[in-house]
Structure 1
Amino acid sequence: MTTKMREEIDEIPAAAARLLDTQTDLIRDCANALKKADPKTVVTIARGSSDHAAYFLKYAVELQLGLPVASLGPSLASIYEAPLKLGHAAAFAVSQSGASPDIVAMARGARAGGATTISLVNTIASPLAETADFAVDIMAGPEIAVAATKSFVNSIVAGLAIIAAWSEDKALVQAVDALPEHLQSALALDWSALLEPLREAESLYMLGRGPALAIAAEAALKCKETCELHAEAYSSAEVLHGPVSIVGRDFPVVAFAARDRAEASVAQTISKLAAGNAACFITSDKATGGEKLPFIATGHPITDALALIVPYYGFIESLSRARGFNPDKPVALKKVTETQ
C-alpha cells in the first residue's frame, strides 16, 4: 500500500507549479514592498522543517542580496515579551499551519518593532497570515503525513520567488520557474544505495555547506521523525572540528553537495572520511572516496541544492518502512505542534 508520505512526495512538482502559477502577483507585491523598504537586515521566524526552510532562505538572501539574516527565537516574544527594534528589517515567518502561538507572537512582535513582515503559510486562514503585512499561500495543498515534505519544498520555492524578484536576478527567476520540471526529474532518482547501510545504523551525520547545509538539517530531522534514527547535520568544515572523532566504519555519513562554490570543499571532506573507512555517500562527482548518489543539476547553485531533498524524501520513506515504522504516523508526533 502506498503511504500518504509517498503520495505527498510525488505531488511536489505539481505543488511547486501550482504555487508559481497562482501567486505571481502577490510575490511581485512582496518584492516591491521589500525594494521600497530597503531593509538592512532580515530575520526569520520558524520551527521544525519550516525553520530549515527559513535556514535555506537565509543563505539565498545573503548570497543574492548581501543582507545578513538572523533567526529569531520565538520565545523572545512568547515567553520573555522582549520588544525588538526592527525598523530597518524584513521578517519572514514560515509555518505550515500558521497556528503555533509562539511563532505568531514573534511575527506580531517583529511587525510591531517596525519590520516588513511576510508570512509563508500553507493555511492562509490562520493567525500567522493575519499577523503579517503580506501572507503568501504556498499552495502545497493538504498534507496528511506528519512529516512535512511538499510544504517544506513549497515554502522554499515561495521564498526564492520573492528573493528572485526582489534582487531582480534574471538567472534566479528563470531557475525558479524551471523548478517544477527539475523536481519532477529528481523524483526518478534512486537513492536505494543508502538503504542497507542505514537500515541497522544507530547514528549518522548529514553534511553540507551553504544552502545544502539547510537540506542536510532537514534530512537529519526526517531520520528522527520517521525512522527513530539519530542523525545530526554539520557543515562539512565544522564536522572536522571535533565531531569527526566518532566517525568509523559503522557510522554513515551522507553529504549534500550542490553544483556551487562549496562542492569541492564538501567533496574533499568526504574523501578524507572515506579514507578512514567511514561509509560515505555524496551527491557529487568530485569526491575521490565514498559512493556517489545521483542528482539533478538545475543550472543554478541555489535551486540545485533544493532539488537534492526530493530523492532523499523518497529514500527516507522507504527506510522508515524497512525499519518497521509507519512514516505517516510517527508514534511521538502529531501534525500540528503548538508551542508557547
Structure 2
Amino acid sequence: MCGIVGAIADRDIVPVLVEGLKRLEYRGYDSAGIAVLDEERLRRVRRTGRVSEMETAAGEQGLAAGLGIGHTRWATHGGVTEHNAHPHISFDELAVVHNGIIENHDSQRDQLRERGYVFESDTDTEVIAHLIHFHQKQGADLLAAVQSAVRELTGAYAIAVVSKNEPDRMIVARMGCPLLVGLGDGENFVASDVSAIIQATRRVIFLEEGDTAELTRDGVRVFGEEGQPVEREVHVSDVSLASLELGPYSHFMQKEIHEQPRAISDTIEAVIDDGTFSPELFGDDAAEVLAGIEGVQILACGTSYYAGVTARYWIESIAGLPCEVEIASEYRYRDVVAKPRHLVVTISQSGETLDTMEALKYAKSLGHDATLSICNVPESAIPRASRLVYYTRAGAEIGVASTKAFTTQLVALFTLACTLAKLRGSINDEQEADHLDCLRQLPGSIQHALNLEPQITRWAERFASKNDALFLGRGIHYPIALEGALKLKEISYIHAEAYPAGELKHGPLALVDEDMPVVVIAPNDRLMEKVKSNMQEVRARGGELYVFTDDDSEFGPSEGVHVIRAPRHVGVLSPIVHTIPVQLLAYHVALARGTDVDKPRNLAKSVTVE
C-alpha cells in the first residue's frame, strides 16, 4: 500500500496524477511513481522519497499522456528501493499499481517463473502484473485477464491496470482495500481516497468487495465478484478543497488540533438540536436494535482502541451495561464466546481499517446482528457493513497521527453511553439535561485547553533531548495517558509508555530517574489524592514530573514538579479536554526534534493490511 490514483482523458493527465499523489502524501509513504501510455509506449518514472522528487523526474523526461496510473508506496514486501516502487510492469506491455498484501505471492511467483517470467523486485505486486500478462497471452482481453488473475490471488488488494495493447481503457479491482471511481465529462478517474481526485470531480462510485470496473473516456462499467454487470450508486463527495489545504498553519497536525472545537461542535450538532439522546441518532431502526442490548463489545485498533477503552468507563457507569474492549487484530483470531445480545461497536477513522473490518465480519459470523460503526468517512466499508452508524463530523484528517478523529470518537461514544442509559432508564431527565449541558460547554472548554499551547511549548524544549518518557493516569484518564504516550512516540520517536498510576510500584518505578520525564494526567476528581501519592513515589526516586491538572486543583508547582492547569474540572467529559494538552505536547516535542510531523516514519494513515 498506500495510495492509488489513475485517469483516462482527452487531455494530459500527468498533472492530475501528480496532484493526486500529493494529496495522498498524508497517508504515509516511502516512494512514488507513475506509468503512462504515451503514443502507445508505456513510460514509467519512480523515485524513493517524496512525490516532488518523482514530479521533477517526470518533468525532465517530458511525460505527457491521456492514460496513466500513479502510486505512493508504504513498504511491506521488500525494502525502500526504486525497483520495489510502483507501478510494476510486465514485459514493457502492462503496468499495475496495488494496495494491500497478496498472501499467496510465493506460490504464484514460483509458477510464473516456471512460465518464463523474470522478477525485478521483491514485492508481491509484481506477481499481479505478470499474472495478468499471462492471462492476456492466453487470449483474454484486459478485463477478462484481470478478472481471471484476481481469482487466483489470496489476500487483500486494490489495483489499477493499464496495457499498451488496449490504450483506450483502464481496469481496476478491489478486495479488502478501498477503491473508488470518479466520474467526469469525457474523462474518468480512480483513486484509493476521494481527496486524490477532488480537484477533478466530486461524483464518485465506491467499489464493493470483489468488484472490477472498466474505465474509458466515455464511461464506466462495474462488474460484481462473479463477473456480472452491476449498478453502483453514484455519490457526490462533500470533501472540501479547503479542508485539504494547510491555510495559516505549519502542519496538518497543528491545524487539526486547532480544528477540534469546530469538529466537536459539528459532531454534537444533531444531539444538541434534538435536545435529547435519541436512538434515531444512530439509525432509523436503532431504538429496536438497542432496546434489548445486554452488553457492549468494542473492536478497534490504535487510537480508536484507546477511545473504546475510555468509553468503557462511560458505558458501565452511566448506562450500567458490561462493556468489553478488544484490539481488533486479536479478536479476529481468537476463539470468541459469542454473545448475540451484545452490541458490537467498531471504531475507525477511515472506515477501511482492515483488522477492524475483518473483526466485524467475524463477529457477524458468530451471530452478532446488532452492529454499530463509529466512523469519520461516509460510505466507507465498515459503516456499509454495519446495521447502525454514527458519523463523526471531524472533516478530512490529513496528519497521520490522529487528533480530531479521536476526540470526536469520544463524543460519539459518550452519546452512545447516554442513549443506552436513557433507553434502560439508568438516567433521569435531570441527569440527561446535565449530560447535554456538558456537551454544549465542551467546545469552549477545548478552546481554553488550546490556549495552554505557549506553556506546553516551553515544556517541549525540555523534552526534546529525552529518549524515554512515562505517562500516568488513573481511572477514565488512564486511556488518555495511553493516547499521550502513543502520540509522543508516533511523531517525536521518543520511546514512551503509559501505565495506570497505581501500577507504578509494580515495575515501572524501576525506570524512574532524573532522565525519565513522567507525565501525569491529574484532574481534580475523586482519584486526585491517589494520584498525588503516586507522584510522591516518583519524586522520592529523583524523577521529574510534568502534571496536567485543573484550574481548581489544590496543588501547584514545586522543585521537580511542573504544573499546567487546564480549565476548571469539566466532570464526566474531562478525558476529552485533557486529550488536548498531550496532543500539543507531542506536536511541539516533534517540532523541537525536527521530525516530519505529518508523515512520521514507517507509519501510514489508512491501515489496509495486516
Question: Is TM more than 0.5 here?
Answer: yes
SS in 2 for 1:253: strand
Cα pair 2:305 2:326 within 8 Å, conserved:
no
SS in 2 for 1:294: strand
CA distance in 2, matches of 1:124, 1:77: 25
The residue that corresponds to 1:104 in the other structure is: 357
Is residue 337 of structure 2 the alignment partner of residue 74 of structure 1? Answer: no
Cα pair 1:3 1:327 within 8 Å, conserved:
yes
CA distance in 2, matches of 1:83, 1:235: 27
The residue that corresponds to 1:311 in the other structure is: 581
Between stretches 173-182 and 125-134, larger displacement belongs to 173-182
Match of 1:199 among 461, 464, 468: 464
CA distance in 1, matches of 2:255, 2:500: 31
The residue that corresponds to 2:200 in the other structure is: none
Which segments of 5 or more consecutive residues in structure 1 lack a partner in the other structure?
none
Is residue 541 of structure 2 the alignment partner of residue 297 of structure 1? Answer: no
The residue that corresponds to 1:335 in the other structure is: 605
1:43-70 Cα deviation digits (max 9, x unpaired)? 1111011111111111211221232322
The residue that corresponds to 2:202 in the other structure is: none
Cα pair 1:44 1:71 within 8 Å, conserved:
yes
CA distance in 2, matches of 1:77, 1:283: 34
Shift of 1:27: 5.8
CA distance in 2, matches of 1:87, 1:23: 28
Match of 1:49 among 299, 303, 328: 303
CA separation of 1:213 and 1:36: change in aligned 2, threshold 3 A: same
CA separation of 1:267 and 1:287: change in aligned 2, threshold 3 A: farther
CA distance in 1, matches of 2:596, 2:317: 38
1:176-223 Cα deviation digits (max 9, x unpaired)? 232111111111013234223311111111000122111100000011
SS in 1 for 2:398: coil
Is residue 370 of structure 2 the alignment partner of residue 116 of structure 1? Answer: yes
Match of 1:261 among 500, 523, 526: 526
Match of 1:91 among 331, 344, 350: 344
Q: When you count helix as a share of all residues, which structure comes out higher?
A: 1
CA distance in 1, matches of 2:506, 2:330: 31
Between stretches 15-24 and 303-312, larger displacement belongs to 15-24
CA separation of 1:146 and 1:73: change in aligned 2, threshold 3 A: closer
Is residue 513 of structure 2 the alignment partner of residue 248 of structure 1? Answer: yes
CA separation of 1:42 and 1:217: change in aligned 2, threshold 3 A: same
CA separation of 1:34 and 1:237: change in aligned 2, threshold 3 A: farther
Q: Which residue identity is paired with 1:312?
A: V
CA distance in 1, matches of 2:394, 2:266: 8
CA separation of 1:83 and 1:211: change in aligned 2, threshold 3 A: closer
SS in 2 for 1:328: coil
Larger Rg: 2
CA distance in 1, matches of 2:448, 2:329: 40
Shift of 1:6: 0.5
CA distance in 2, matches of 1:323, 1:54: 31
The residue that corresponds to 1:8 in the other structure is: 256
Identity of aligned residues (%): 26
Which segments of 5 or more consecutive residues in structure 2 lack a partner in the other structure?
1-248, 423-430
CA separation of 1:92 and 1:323: change in aligned 2, threshold 3 A: same
Q: Which residue identity is paired with 1:211?
A: I
Cα pair 2:301 2:329 within 8 Å, conserved:
no
CA distance in 2, matches of 1:202, 1:119: 37
The residue that corresponds to 1:326 in the other structure is: 596
Is residue 481 of structure 2 the alignment partner of residue 233 of structure 1? Answer: no
CA separation of 1:273 and 1:21: change in aligned 2, threshold 3 A: same
SS in 1 for 2:605: coil
Shift of 1:73: 4.0
CA distance in 2, matches of 1:21, 1:200: 43
Match of 1:144 among 398, 416, 420: 398
Q: When you count strand as a share of all residues, which structure comes out higher?
A: 2
CA distance in 1, matches of 2:554, 2:529: 6
Q: Which residue identity is paired with 1:242?
A: G
1:242-262 Cα deviation digits (max 9, x unpaired)? 110110111110011223222
CA distance in 2, matches of 1:83, 1:245: 36
Cα pair 1:165 1:173 within 8 Å, conserved:
no
Shift of 1:34: 6.1
CA separation of 1:3 and 1:305: change in aligned 2, threshold 3 A: same
SS in 1 for 2:565: coil
Report 1 or 2 for greater relative contact order, CA contacts < 8 Å, sequence distance ≥ 6. Answer: 1
TM normalised by structure 1 equals 0.92
TM normalised by structure 2 equals 0.52
CA distance in 2, matches of 1:115, 1:208: 35
CA distance in 2, matches of 1:58, 1:115: 21
Cα pair 2:514 2:542 within 8 Å, conserved:
yes
The residue that corresponds to 1:17 in the other structure is: 265
Q: How many equivalent pairs are there?
A: 337
Shift of 1:309: 1.1
CA distance in 2, matches of 1:195, 1:227: 11
CA separation of 1:213 and 1:17: change in aligned 2, threshold 3 A: same
SS in 2 for 1:283: strand
Cα pair 2:372 2:386 within 8 Å, conserved:
yes
